[in-house]
Each structure stands twice: as structure tokens, then as C-alpha cells.
Amino acid sequence: MKFLYFTDTHLRATNPINRIDNFFETLKTKLNEVVNISIEENVDYILHGGDLFDRPDTSISVVSDFSKIFQKFNVPIYIVSGNHDIFGHNPKTLNRTMLGLLCNLGILNLVNDKKIILKKDISVQLTAYPYTFGMDDDINKSNYLVLEKNPEADYMIHMTHGFLIDRPFIKNIPHTLISEISSTFADITLGAHYHYGFKTTEINGKYFVNPGSIVRISNSQEEIKRKPKVVIIELNDKISIKDIYLKNALDGNLVLDRSEMERHKFKQNQIYEFKEIIDSSTELNNLDIYEILIKIATNEFIDDNIKKEAIKRIQNIQIKGADFS
């Protein structure tokens, strides 16, 4: 059995601020290339990690254009919902979204809380953990795990759309490390949400995969260097995983606005200078900006919902703009 996995397409008609190409046409070109790869590789199923559209209420005309491309896939498409696919970080709003519409029409197949058995020469159990606010808090991390083995399945694949990464991140930004969920019974855990992705990781025969977003919309040096890709997963008597880079994905220098990056870099330098001033003070010595945010919220008796919203916004910015290099 063979799968093609890709994620975080963020389909839209308008250009992100730091793209200098025609982003709408680029998206269509990339999606058509993914269709062609799936045909050339003779895959049995398509898996999508979420954030199909850039917003849940994408216009009908845009959805119509991309739906025509989805229908070129000659195999079923299974998807988990991401934060951009829903309203208010709540998966229960899916029936009011364009992703929900395409699933109701049968163009896509929503996994989310279902347990789906796929059969060909082998049997594969497919499950998912959709994006919900707070999913990377310690109390919720068990949702990344498949907790028991299905004796009737040869393999188990678990799709997720959360901040799953391969190495530690800023401590006050909720995230989940691969090492924290390595006890899962899933043979393959598919990650998304974190646009940079990470190198496919194997721990005790369990695989953790995130190829990264097929689009580049953040203004960082990491995005200039990164080349979008999809992953081919082949299951028979063993697990085989390979990357296929998109030929139509142009060099980052050709599609990302360098002037916007310089402005971004200037703003980042200002933030770092402010942080150094704060860090050098006696009262707040050794506190990072996130600890300061929490300290102020506590001292000024700011409503918890406001504090959570502030941290959430910082988290979203860091996910789009973080650079580990």
C-alpha cells in the first residue's frame, strides 16, 4: 500500500505580504504537480495534514478552482483539520467551513476523531488528532498517542496537526517533542502545523514525519533555503519513506521579498534590544519576554483569557517565523 503525504497548503487567492510571485497561480501549479507525482508513484491514498485553506471562509470561487484540481487525484484524499480550517480553534465549527463543505460533498474525507481501516494487500488503521487550542498542553499530549495496538491492522498511521517538533523550543510556547510521544503504538505519526518540518525520525521502529508546508509565506532565512516537498510512504513487509521535492517550487530568492525580510530583521533587532534592556534590569533579570508577559498579566490581574490570547498570538508568530539555524 502506498501513500502520498503533504500538508499546510494554505490555499488562497491573495498574495502574502512577502511573496513577489502570483501566489494563487503558484499554488495551482504546485497542487497540480502533487497530482502528477501521485499518478507517477501509483499511490493508493492521499493524506493531507491540515490547513488546506488559509481561512475557513475562503471564497466560493477560490474553493471551486482548487476543487477541480482535487478531483484530478484518482485516489481518495484523507485529511485532518488544522487551525486555519476552523473558526475559533474549534473543530466543531467544521460544518460552517469550506473544508467541511468539501468533505460533505465527498471530494475529501475527514479523519479527525474517526478510526478508518484501509485495505489492499495489507490492512492499515488511520486515525487523527485535529487542531484544538491547548492541544500541546501537558494534559492533552496523550492525544498524540495511539494507545493500543489493533491486532487486525498490519500498520497504524496517526495524523496530527499540532506543534510537534524534533527538538526543544521556547519553554513558554506549548509544543510537543517527538521523544515525549515515542511510546505510541502508531507505526507512523504524521506531523503538520510547523511549516519548516523536520527530518523523518525513527525511534524503535516508529516513524515521525513532517515534510513541512508546501508553501513558503514567512520572511525568514530558513524559508529561503527550504525547498517544499511531499512524502511517499510505502507499506508492505517493511516501511519505506522517501521525500520528493517539488520541481515547480522556485528558489526562495525568486519568490520571497528580500526588502520585507530586511524590515522583518529590523523589527526583530528592535525586539532583541528591548529584551536586552529588560534582562539587564535588576527586578526582571534573567526573565525572557514570555515570562515577562506572564508576570505582567499576573501582577496586573489581567483576565486569564486575555493572557492566553496574547500567548497564543506569540505562538502563532513563532510558528510562522521561527529560525533554528
216-226 mean pLDDT: 84
Per residue in 72-98, pLDDT (tens digit) is 999 999 999 999 999 988 899 999 999
DSSP class per residue in 45-78? EEEE-S--BSSTT--HHHHHHHHHHHTT-SS-EE
Same domain, 242 and 296: no
Same domain, 88 and 175: yes
Same domain, 107 and 147: yes
Same domain, 302 and 238: no
The CATH number of the domain holding residue 153 is 3.60.21.10
- The pTM of the whole model exceeds 0.85: no
Per residue in 4-26, pLDDT (tens digit) is 999 999 999 999 888 889 999 99
Choose the final residue of a domain: 203, 230, 252. Answer: 252
DSSP class per residue in 77-97? EEE---GGGSBTTBGGGGGGS
The angle subtended at Cα 319 by Cα 280 and Cα 162, nearest 5°, is 125
And the C-alpha cell for 179? 521523544
Choose the final residue of a domain: 210, 230, 252. Answer: 252
Same domain, 224 and 116: yes
Choose the final residue of a domain: 234, 252, 270. Answer: 252
Task: Supply the pLDDT for residue 268.
Answer: 57
Same domain, 183 and 317: no
Residue written as grid cell 508546501: 214
Same domain, 169 and 313: no
Per residue in 136-148, pLDDT (tens digit) is 999 999 999 999 9
Same domain, 152 and 276: no
Give Cα 21 distance to the centre of its chain.
23
Same domain, 281 and 228: no
Asked if residue 321 has pLDDT above 50, the reply is no
d(C-alpha 108, C-alpha 73), whole Å: 10
d(C-alpha 60, C-alpha 279), whole Å: 49
Per residue in 41-75, pLDDT (tens digit) is 999 999 999 999 999 999 999 999 999 999 999 99
Same domain, 39 and 140: yes
Q: Characterize 193-214 residue by residue with b for buried, 16 or more Cβ atoms within 10 angstroms of its Cβ, and e for exposed.
A: bbbbbbebbeeeebbbbbbbbb
Per residue in 146-193, pLDDT (tens digit) is 999 999 999 999 999 999 999 988 777 899 999 999 999 999 999 999
Range of the domain at 110: 2-252
The residue type of 149 is: K
Nearest to 137 by CA among 156, 104, 158, 163: 163
209-218 mean pLDDT: 93
**What total number of domains does the chain contain?**
2
Same domain, 25 and 152: yes
Task: Supply the pLDDT for residue 247.
Answer: 96
d(C-alpha 266, C-alpha 291), whole Å: 23
Same domain, 156 and 270: no
Task: Supply the pLDDT for residue 283.
Answer: 46
